[in-house]
């Protein structure tokens, strides 16, 4: 396509820069609110579906399997197991699974001896003091090896 | 799961005819107090996306022309239209357009509004006069969005003849805002 | 093409701000639609979901985010999007899944959660405008509707009071809708005295921003007859998009709506829509849009929709009831969900299940329409029983 130099003969493409500042306020939702309230009490809650005989984290008002309403919430076991982990420098991140519960919880893992890290190792959550819990996932300060 | 949902799963469909649908619609409205107060229900997130767009061939030309104090369009010999804003292809004929055409910096108010809000829906202290202006020298109905100035709210009308109020040449940057606004070109 | 039936519909409440996440809202509406069709998710072959700009939620891949809540995981799943026209485009897209033989049962879901964006959802629309020619002027979506309303009034000599009658009617109709966000008994005077936003648009001329979801179950003829004695058929669908150079169009008449309607009328074998359409759910995010769209849909002659409104023809007990649900002005405007709500209203009205909202005359054929993007898209669905 032909395009003529315009006016001063120095037509050139140029960038146009603009920005879009965006601010959001997200509702946690029905199940998210219950999960959050559980964390404040030092509990990790899963939703359960009695038809599928299944529990899930994070909890949901519906069962992903049968698309019916979940029946309620259950507290997961005190101790979970290490499903997988990754590390960078001093930070170890872990995916934790709980017995009889579908879904994984991601969190930091505090570990003094890296040699003890292995898939399937028992781990447990360490909550921050009750007075400073906010109903956030950070109410769990970290997980630690339960051995 | 604020309500007993056990009975809502399958099997109990009730009488269909004579019912009023939607029956028992679900959903939990938040009160203004809940929205403002209970942080536990919310997570806040703030971001700023910055973009750098290439102005492209047609609009690049158009903006350069504005910097030079001119409005330009593109002609299409397929439909014999002069297109403003210009584009390098005609969307009706679906062929390349042909030539750059200098159009005038005068036009007619196609429609207008007096805006009391900003783009985040907050109220403005001073209302803004906005209009679609059909540009003289382009084909009928060819125009663009701009502002009106040097006019009282009561005087603005559909069909009002206007002329571009240009920024001084040294202040122009090659932007749509190189025209400060359009003002009446005839005595009102 | 195979015949396509609607056999179920459901929706949440529509509210300004809701506790439920978008996923949870999608689930509530989808579950209600499946229950009303006496079906389970295992019966569903594919899912079509619609949601409007990602900017409301700040979640790109929003279709994927909503997937589980719309029952779409592990199934053929499609997100469709044509701005405000999305809601009626969802059942159109679901229709072609069934008509083509690709699927026997399709769940069609519309979801919108507008409340997260601060300080106001309106801000999301900043990002739909031309970044070179329009954003630098401080454009808002409200400007362009005000400009269109003014042009419509100017060309046909229509008064603001005539347009206000639509807001009065629809907000009043919504008094009978269990999901309604803004049911109100108001007068033309209330509308005229409400706060000016962008003249001629005033506060009560505009629908609210909302959170909500709505869903439908579509099925092929053989499946539909197994599940219900009373299917409602989709007999026409149409859609059309005009140029994005909105300042190059005559804003007094929506040609793209006419073209979408003509596509649907041809499919449904309709030659005289004013006589053959019994009632309609016409897109009404602003009160003037109902009139504008009635004309585009050929349900009124150009410039004459206000007269029909004034004469009461568009009331629930009138000859051509328009928006018996209460529309977006009354029920609320969670964008994609609002369009699906309109198609759900056709379903309920045609089956005689609209309760206090049931139109007076017997109805056999209804039309739902939506509109959007930069005032450039029309989407139409015609249903019959």
Per-residue model confidence as pLDDT tens digits over C94-105 = 999 999 999 999
Cβ–Cβ below 8 Å for B60 and A34: no
pLDDT of B12 strictly over 70: no
Task: Give the confidence band of C238 by pLDDT, cuts at 50, 70, 90.
Answer: very high
pLDDT at res. A4: 45
Q: What share of chain A is helix, strand, coil (3-state, %, to 5)?
A: 15, 45, 45
pLDDT at res. B171: 97
With CA atoms as reference, the chain A residue closest to B60 would be: A13
Average pLDDT, chain C: 96
Residue C168 CA: distances (Å) to CA of B165, B173, C326, C335:
42, 48, 10, 21
Q: What value does the mean pLDDT take over residues C24-34? A: 98
Is some CB atom of chain B closer than 8 A to the CB atom of C212?
A: yes
* CB-closest option in A27, A32, A61 to C27: A61
Task: Give the confidence band of A13 by pLDDT, cuts at 50, 70, 90.
Answer: low
In a domain, C311, yes or no: yes
pLDDT at res. A2: 43
ipTM reported for the complex, 2 dp: 0.91
In a domain, A22, yes or no: no
pLDDT at res. B8: 47
Q: How many Å separate Cα C369 from the centre of its chain?
A: 6
pLDDT at res. B15: 44
| CB neighbourhood size of C304 (10 A) | 14
Q: What value does the mean pLDDT take over residues A103-113? A: 93
In a domain, A12, yes or no: no
Q: What value does the mean pLDDT take over residues A61-79? A: 95
* CB-closest option in B17, B29, B141 to C13: B29
In a domain, C147, yes or no: no
Q: Are C184 and C330 in contact (CB under 8 A)?
A: yes
**Model pLDDT for residues C241-291, shown as the tens digit of each residue:** 999 999 999 899 999 999 999 999 999 999 999 999 999 999 999 999 999
Q: What value does the mean pLDDT take over residues A43-64? A: 96
pLDDT at res. B18: 55
Number of structural domains in chain A = 1
Question: What is the C-alpha separation between C194 and C207, in angstroms, rounded?
Answer: 13
Q: What value does the mean pLDDT take over residues B2-26? A: 58
Cβ–Cβ below 8 Å for C40 and A66: yes
Q: Report which of A103, A61, B4 is spatially closest to residue C19, judged by C-alpha positions.
A: A61
Is some CB atom of chain A closer than 8 A to the CB atom of C126?
A: yes
In a domain, C365, yes or no: yes
In a domain, C39, yes or no: yes
With CA atoms as reference, the chain C residue closest to B87 would be: C245
Residue C126: how many CA atoms within 13 Å on its side-chain side?
A: 22
In CATH, what number is assigned to the domain containing residue C294? Answer: 3.40.47.10
pLDDT of C44 strictly over 50: yes
With CA atoms as reference, the chain B residue closest to A68 would be: B9
pLDDT of C203 strictly over 60: yes
Sign of the Cα pseudo-torsion (C12, C4, C7, C360, in order): positive
Q: Are A107 and A142 in contact (CB under 8 A)?
A: yes
pLDDT at res. C60: 85
pLDDT at res. B5: 43
Query: What would the two tokens of residue A33 be?
Result: 């609110």
With CA atoms as reference, the chain C residue closest to B48 would be: C58
Is some CB atom of chain A closer than 8 A to the CB atom of B33?
A: no
Shortest Cα distance from A14 to chain B (angstroms)? 6
Percent of chain B, pLDDT > 90?
Answer: 77
Percent of chain C, pLDDT > 70?
Answer: 100
Task: Give the confidence band of A12 by pLDDT, cuts at 50, 70, 90.
Answer: low
Shortest Cα distance from C195 to chain B (angstroms)? 9
- Site from B10, B119, B127, B149 to mutate, C interface, most C CB atoms within 10 angstroms: B119
pLDDT of B123 strictly over 90: yes
Q: Report which of C96, C129, C71 is spatially closest to residue C245, judged by C-alpha positions.
A: C129
Q: Name residues whose C-beta falls within 8 Å of residue B4's C-beta, 6 or more positions apart in sequence.
A: none
Question: What is the C-alpha separation between B158 and B143, in angstroms, rounded?
Answer: 14
Cβ–Cβ below 8 Å for A20 and C127: yes
In a domain, C303, yes or no: yes
Tell me the longest C-alpha to C-alpha distance in chain A: 79
CB within 8 Å of chain B, chain C residues 105-144: 119-120, 122-123, 125-126, 131-134, 136-140, 142-144
- Site from A15, A16, A27 to mutate, C interface, most C CB atoms within 10 angstroms: A27
pLDDT at res. A6: 43
Task: Give the confidence band of A8 by pLDDT, cuts at 50, 70, 90.
Answer: very low
| CB neighbourhood size of A93 (10 A) | 14
Q: What value does the mean pLDDT take over residues C144-163? A: 97
In a domain, C183, yes or no: no
DSSP C150: H
pLDDT of A7 strictly over 50: no
pTM (global) more than 0.80: yes
Task: Give the confidence band of C126 by pLDDT, cuts at 50, 70, 90.
Answer: confident
Task: Write out chain B residues lying below 8 Å of C143, CB-based.
Answer: 113, 115, 130, 145
Q: Angle C86-99/C335-350 helices, nearest 10 degrees?
A: 60
Task: Write out chain C residues lying below 8 Å of A20, CB-based.
Answer: 126-127
What domain range includes position C283? 4-118+208-384
Task: Give the confidence band of C73 by pLDDT, cuts at 50, 70, 90.
Answer: very high
Q: Name residues whose C-beta falls within 8 Å of residue C274's C-beta, 6 or more positions apart in sequence.
A: C298, C299, C300, C320
What domain range includes position A102? 29-145
| Torsion on CA atoms B113, B114, B118, B120, rounded to nearest 10 | -50
Task: Write out chain B residues lying below 8 Å of C125, CB-based.
Answer: 119
Query: What would the two tokens of residue C30 be?
Result: 């989808």
**Model pLDDT for residues B20-65, shown as the tens digit of each residue:** 899 999 999 999 888 887 666 888 899 898 999 999 999 999 999 9
pLDDT at res. A1: 35
Query: What would the two tokens of residue B146 be?
Result: 């701009």
Number of structural domains in chain C = 1
Is some CB atom of chain A closer than 8 A to the CB atom of C55?
A: yes
pLDDT at res. C54: 86
In a domain, C160, yes or no: no
In a domain, A11, yes or no: no
- Site from C116, C129, C132, C136 to mutate, A interface, most A CB atoms within 10 angstroms: C116
CA angle at residue C251 from C249 to C256, to 5 degrees? Answer: 70
In a domain, A115, yes or no: yes
Q: Are A109 and A142 in contact (CB under 8 A)?
A: yes
| Torsion on CA atoms C283, C284, C289, C294, rounded to nearest 10 | 50
Is some CB atom of chain C closer than 8 A to the CB atom of A17?
A: no
* CB-closest option in C17, C32, C351 to B22: C32
In a domain, A19, yes or no: no
DSSP C290: H
Looking at per-residue confidence, does B6 or B144 come out higher? B144
């Amino acid at each position: 396509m032909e395009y003529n130099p315009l006016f001063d003969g120095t037509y050139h493409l140029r960038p146009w820069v603009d920005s879009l500042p965006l601010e959001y306020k997200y509702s946690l939702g029905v199940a998210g609110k219950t999960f959050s309230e559980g964390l404040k009490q030092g509990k990790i809650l899963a939703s359960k579906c009695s038809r599928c005989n299944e529990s899930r984290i994070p909890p949901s008002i519906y069962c992903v399997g049968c698309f019916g309403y979940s029946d309620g919430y259950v507290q997961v076991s005190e101790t979970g197991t290490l499903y997988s982990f990754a590390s960078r420098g001093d930070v170890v991140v872990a995916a934790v699974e709980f017995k009889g519960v579908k879904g994984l919880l991601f969190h930091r893992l505090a570990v003094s001896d890296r040699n003890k890290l292995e898939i399937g190792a028992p781990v447990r959550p360490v909550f921050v003091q009750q007075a400073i819990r906010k109903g956030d996932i950070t109410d769990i300060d970290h997980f630690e090896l339960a051995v | 799961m604020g309500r007993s949902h056990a009975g809502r799963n399958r099997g109990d469909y009730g009488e269909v005819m004579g019912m009023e649908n939607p029956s028992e619609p679900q959903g939990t409205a938040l009160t203004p107090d809940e929205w403002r107060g209970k942080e536990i229900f919310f997570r806040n997130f703030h971001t700023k996306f910055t973009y750098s767009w290439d102005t492209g061939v047609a609009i690049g030309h158009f903006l350069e022309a504005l910097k030079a104090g001119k409005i330009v369009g593109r002609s299409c010999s397929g439909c014999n239209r002069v297109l403003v804003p210009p584009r390098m292809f005609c969307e009706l004929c679906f062929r390349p357009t042909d030539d750059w055409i200098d159009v005038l910096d005068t036009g007619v108010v196609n429609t207008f509004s007096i805006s009391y809000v900003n783009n985040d829906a907050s109220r403005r202290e001073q209302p803004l006069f906005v209009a679609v202006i059909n540009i003289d020298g382009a084909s009928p109905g060819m125009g663009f969005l701009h502002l009106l100035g040097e006019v009282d709210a009561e005087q603005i009308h559909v069909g009002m003849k206007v002329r571009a109020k240009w920024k001084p040449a040294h202040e122009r940057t090659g932007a749509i805002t190189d025209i400060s606004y359009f003002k009446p070109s005839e005595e009102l | 093409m195979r015949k396509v039936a609607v056999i179920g519909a459901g929706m949440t409440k529509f509210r300004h701000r809701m506790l439920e996440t978008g996923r949870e809202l999608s689930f509530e509406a989808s579950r209600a639609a499946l229950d009303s069709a006496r079906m389970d998710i295992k019966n569903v072959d594919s899912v079509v979901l619609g949601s409007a700009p990602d900017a409301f939620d700040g979640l790109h891949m929003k279709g994927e985010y909503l997937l589980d809540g719309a029952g779409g995981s592990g199934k053929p799943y499609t997100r469709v999007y044509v701005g405000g026209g999305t809601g009626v485009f969802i059942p159109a897209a679901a229709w072609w899944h069934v008509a083509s033989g690709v699927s026997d049962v399709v769940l069609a879901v519309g979801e919108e959660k507008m409340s997260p964006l601060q300080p106001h959802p309106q801000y999301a629309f900043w990002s739909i405008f031309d970044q070179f020619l329009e954003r630098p002027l401080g454009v808002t979506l409200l400007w362009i509707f005000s400009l269109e309303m003014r042009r419509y009034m100017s060309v046909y000599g229509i008064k603001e009071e005539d347009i206000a009658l639509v807001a009065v009617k629809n907000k009043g109709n919504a008094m009978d809708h269990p999901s309604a966000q803004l049911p109100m008994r108001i007068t033309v005077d209330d509308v005229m005295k409400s706060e000016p936003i962008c003249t001629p648009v005033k506060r009560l001329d505009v629908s609210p921003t909302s959170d909500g979801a709505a869903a439908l179950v579509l099925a092929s003829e053989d499946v539909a007859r197994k599940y219900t004695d009373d299917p409602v058929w989709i007999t026409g669908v149409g859609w059309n998009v005009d140029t994005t150079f909105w300042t190059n169009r005559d804003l007094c008449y929506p040609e793209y709506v006419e073209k979408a309607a003509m596509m649907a009328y041809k499919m449904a074998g309709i030659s005289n829509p004013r006589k053959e359409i019994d009632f309609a759910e016409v897109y009404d995010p602003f009160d003037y849009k109902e009139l504008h769209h009635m004309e585009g849909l050929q349900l009124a002659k150009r410039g004459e929709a206000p007269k029909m409104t004034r004469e009461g023809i568009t009331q629930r007990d009138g000859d051509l009831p328009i928006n018996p649900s209460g529309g977006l002005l009354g029920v609320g405007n969670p964008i994609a969900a609002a369009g699906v709500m309109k198609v759900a209203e056709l379903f309920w009205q045609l089956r005689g299940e609209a309760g206090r909202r049931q139109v007076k005359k017997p109805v056999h054929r209804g039309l739902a329409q939506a509109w959007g993007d930069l005032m450039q898209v029309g989407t139409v669905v015609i249903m019959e029983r």
